[in-house]
Homo-oligomer: A and B are copies of this chain.
């Protein structure tokens, strides 16, 4: 078994950059069930990353969109009957067509029905669940640490990606941490949602979910750092991160990724 924590920093960055190159080359279709606040920014982030985003929620057609996509994102940022029904159909299509999917249980710490729905979805085996500290704590009943995230990943047989000042990514056996990103990322709405979409995009071109999640978070984190250098606040930062993601090349990613 491969242990990234034993691998050199250079190997992990190289793996992420290989995934970025494949993203650009293959332009995968990524279908997103996401909230109204995040839809436009998420679509622009996916386009900048080289993907073809789609966002429909209609029960009649989400099945065909997911079936012809290479990855699926389920974001709980708007939790309503329409999106619950869309999610049920989308997951059936994802299972049938072996489309990997990411769960982003947004604000699961603020509402009990949302927490219950997230738990039901985790049983359906997303490839990756991406959360912030509060969301992990609400679902796992423990603060995020190396031990608690590994244990939660192992018992649910998923990859857990907890974003924060240092991102932690684990499949229950292997563990990666990423020290990229910038504080302005928390000042732009839907930045986390868009990060989860990039992570889903990486799953579309990389079968190893731990490597895909690591690459996704490193890519958005490095783009954030590049954007911060050209911004004078969260407004210009949100614009600059799209430019940075669009212009990001393998060499820059390797030079700036801080993966351990």
A188 interfacial contact with B, CB 8 Å? yes
A37 — nearest CB in chain B belongs to which residue?
B39
Please indicate the chain B residues that have their CB under 8 angstroms from the CB of A242 in the complex.
233-236, 238
> In the complex, are the beta carbons of A246 and B187 less than 8 A apart?
yes
Is A78 in the interface zone, CB < 8 Å from B? yes
A82 in the interface (beta carbon within 8 A): yes
A221 shortest CB reach to chain B, Å:
17
Contact status A239-B243, CB under 8 Å: no
Say yes or no: B78 contacts A57, CB within 8 Å.
yes
Whether B107 pairs with A56 at a CB distance below 8 angstroms is yes
Copies in the complex: 3
Q: Taking the complex as formed, is A91 at the interface, i.e. its CB lies under 8 A from any CB of chain B? A: no
Residue among B43, B54, B82 making CB contact with A107, cutoff 8 Å: B54
A240 at the interface (CB under 8 A from B): yes
Check: A101 CB closer than 8 A to any chain B CB.
no
B232 in contact with A247 (CB, 8 Å): yes
Segment from A59-67, A123-131, A202-210 that makes contact with B: A59-67
Binding site for B on A (CB under 8 A): 35-41, 43-44, 47-48, 53-58, 60-61, 64-65, 68, 77-82, 107, 110-114, 187-190, 231-236, 238-244, 246-247
A-B contacts, 11 of them at CB < 8 A, read A37-B55, A47-B187, A48-B187, A57-B78, A61-B112, A68-B110, A232-B247, A234-B246, A235-B239, A238-B239, A238-B242
